[in-house]
Structure 1
Amino acid sequence: MIENPRLFLTALYEAAVQAADPLHRIKELLPVLPPSGRVVVVGAGKGAAQMARSLESLWDGPLSGVVVTPYGYECETLRIDVISAAHPVPDKAGMVAAEALKASVSDLSRDDLVIALICGGGSALLPAPPAGFALADEVALNEELLASGAPISAMNVVRKHFSTIKGGRLAASTKAKVVSFVVSDIPGDDPALVSSGPTIPDRSTRRDALEIITRYRLKLPQRMLEFIGTDAADAPHPASRVFATHDHHLVSSARISLEAAADFARGSGVAAVVLSDCMEGEAREVGRVHAAIAREIAMQNSPFNRPCVLLSGGETTVTLRTRDGKGGRNGEFALSFALAVDGLDVFALAADTDGIDGSGDNAGAFADGTSVERFMAQQVNGCARLQANDSYCAFSAVGDLFVCGPTGVNVNDLRAILIP
């Protein structure tokens, strides 16, 4: 018997976040013998500073380098510099950080080693537009991508064809061996797509990028479209000799976190079902699908017996109907879910494992069968707020925002639904 569903769901979230800490996996994979030359660390993402601090605790020899992380995600490091920059829309500090990463590896030799610490969020943190373009062009590209409803994997294919650092270009710019440790926030866990792969190339082409631009009707300047259609936009191919000695390791992922949450639930006497670790699609539609499954269990005790908790991960998207609303994809999922389970004995938490949902101060929101009734008591029209992409204001009015602050990890979203 779960006496306090919210405390239980919060505990599931905490178990998932704790399991996403890459420290132990990195320790297993570090080279036994240091190189004869220098060891330089580069990194980018929402957990890059924490990964750098962990690496410092594990590496006994000389170490230097630089990583970039969003404002508010910093932590103290001793030997590796941490630069803060804007996310999800790039700023000038990100441009400085991208140049610092490139400069730190440009003069290395084959006797040296580059350790790359890559996690989600690095795409926005490393603006490095092609020659002849400016930061404003990359800002415009990111804003258009964020409003498009395109999945993160598609966004990053476009981003890496308008960059001088993404798509393996950072690794290709050095003679040193590069070993990348990757925390995946990408459904399917393709390491080359995490943070648009600054140190890991993939096989996507500029034709793929142009097809995505067409499919999602991205309104980009003609000059940018023309560039992406030229040879200059091509990223290095994975078969290139420059990557022959490079290596990469997936050290944390959504699947690992979901299994940890499931284990916690089972230890509490509640059956756990992992629906998927790579859910994609419109957040409101994914919310309705999860609500339909929860409704079937609550009313028919099928296809899973009560009590149980449904878990899913991945990254949904939000196609903006208006630019005036506030709230991220997890809030939009939770609001859609709440509207669909009105009156049922079900409880849910949808939250980003990095601690921030979109650009707000919350990780996500709680939702349950009483949400709609409580919205009405506060004169909040849940349907109208969903249409306005304004989940934050709806859940704020009833005290259902889930606020935990930056976690230092990022393996995408966690959705947990308890059916008592």
Structure 2
Amino acid sequence: MPNVRIIAAGKAAPAMAAAAARCLGSRIRAGLVIGAAPAPCPHGFESIVGGHPLPTAASEEAGRCALALAGSLAADERLLVLLSGGASALMAVPARGVTLDDKRATTERLLRAGADIHALNTVRKHLSAIKGGWLAAHTRGACRALAISDVVGDDLSVIASGPTVGDASRFQDALDVLERFGGAAAYPPAVVGRLRNGARSSAGAAPETPKPDDPRLARTTTTVIGSRLDAMTGAAGEAASLGYHLLRVDDAVIGDARTAAVSHLRAVLARAAGVGRPACIISSGETTVHVTGGGKGGRNQEFALAAAEGLARLGAAVVMASVGTDGIDGPTDAAGAVADSTTLERARAAGLSPDRHLSDNNAYAFFDALGDLIHTGPTGTNVGDLQIILLA
């Protein structure tokens, strides 16, 4: 059996590396774990804690170590890449002519403008020397990647920005993303310059990302081994054990968090009309937030706050939770929040304005004052967001 070198990157990296070490044992010749927080790693593995949601100098160090490990692979060895949510930020190598600060500023601007993961990663891949297939292109041996997906639809080229997958997007697509989210003038000149140079030329100073038919990727395969549907299955099993009648909504919850909260609540409650009580409605996905205020929060907290008015109108015993399965919602220490049919009444009694907090993107302060934030701490995985509605 061939020897193996392992790169594990993402919020589930320590656990995935440990599982691989148990399975492969003495066949492992080298290992690198790139995680979001300090955690025990298998003996002999190097460990680096990168930055998230924005890359840091440690992220760049991690990315360069990953490229070096991939490049050291002998032709008769195998590279095992273990990917999970967060790897795009935790493992970052800026492309030529672009600095880490340029990438950080671009990522932050896109996030605040409400760009979804597909748009965000289209840009990231064209500013990177490791994303968009570049990691696998550095190897001489065969590469096998296993991914835990935090991306709706499980697009292999989007999960962790596809370091082992050929990229069908082009420089012009990345430029189009910038135009949709603020215009080129809102982004660092070096970023815009690289994308424009790449769009004008197929090689040279700004070569395109490896494409799906690139011969350098011929010995690389990538497989999804976990996704949001697994989280829903786990939640459904727990709810059933507690005696709830189930309604599982597999259609992904996507789009702007405020808009999605209102439309999703209306749609699923209509579908639940014929479900026995007590009922549990389970859904999942990943929304976005267009940040225009100066407050603090995340997409799950904003989703819950936007749903509060609809919950109040029901006049019945109903409670909803929206949480990130990684235990981290935006730049906060909360995983999400709980809202129910009494949220607005309790808020107004406490002198809180739901509308003002929502317009200021300040859902964290709102739910913190009510004691309705959900704190789990980092969960060690990431398969997107989960919404649970309970009806008495």
Under a length normalisation based on structure 1, what TM-score does the superposition of the two structures give? 0.86
The residue number in structure 2 matching 1:344 is 316
* CA shift for structure 1 position 296: 4.3
Distance 2:277 2:207 in 1: 53
The residue number in structure 2 matching 1:25 is none
Residues 228-266 of structure 1: per-residue CA shift (max 9 Å, x gap) = 131315100111111112112211000122122223323
The residue number in structure 1 matching 2:195 is 228
Distance 1:363 1:81 in 2: 29
Q: Is it true that 1:308 corresponds to 2:279 in the alignment? A: yes
* CA shift for structure 1 position 124: 1.1
1:99-248 map, 5 Å: 99-218=64-183, 219-229=186-196, 230=198, 231=202, 232-248=206-222
* CA shift for structure 1 position 277: 5.1
* CA shift for structure 1 position 345: 1.8
* CA shift for structure 1 position 203: 1.3
SS in 2 for 1:191: coil
Equivalent residues of 1:172, 1:242 under 8 A apart:
yes
The residue number in structure 1 matching 2:235 is 261
Distance 1:386 1:398 in 2: 15
The residue number in structure 1 matching 2:302 is 332
Residues 135-190 of structure 1: per-residue CA shift (max 9 Å, x gap) = 11111111111112111122111110110000010110110111001000000011
The gaps in structure 2 that reach 5 residues or longer are none
Distance 2:387 2:212 in 1: 34
| Corresponding letter in the other structure for 1:367 | A
The residue number in structure 1 matching 2:61 is 96
User: Which one of the candidate residues 202, 226, 232 is aligned to 1:252?
Assistant: 226
Distance 2:359 2:269 in 1: 23
The residue number in structure 2 matching 1:18 is none
Under a length normalisation based on structure 2, what TM-score does the superposition of the two structures give? 0.92
The gaps in structure 1 that reach 5 residues or longer are 1-33
SS in 1 for 2:377: coil
| Corresponding letter in the other structure for 1:373 | E
* CA shift for structure 1 position 304: 4.1
Distance 1:373 1:319 in 2: 27
Q: Is it true that 1:395 corresponds to 2:361 in the alignment? A: no
* CA shift for structure 1 position 397: 0.5
Determine which structure has greater relative contact order: mean sequence separation of CA pairs < 8 Å that are 6+ residues apart, divided by chain length. Answer: 1
Equivalent residues of 2:247, 2:280 under 8 A apart:
yes
| Corresponding letter in the other structure for 1:274 | R
The residue number in structure 1 matching 2:19 is 54
The residue number in structure 1 matching 2:39 is 74
After superposing the two structures, state which structure 1 stretch, 125-134 or 172-181, moved more: 125-134
Equivalent residues of 1:86, 1:93 under 8 A apart:
yes
How many pairs are equivalent?
380
What is the aligned-residue RMSD (CA, Å)? 1.7
After superposing the two structures, state which structure 1 stretch, 168-177 or 276-285, moved more: 276-285
The residue number in structure 1 matching 2:388 is 416
User: Which one of the candidate residues 241, 249, 253 is aligned to 1:279?
Assistant: 253
Residues 41-81 of structure 1: per-residue CA shift (max 9 Å, x gap) = 112111112211221122222322212111x3533432322
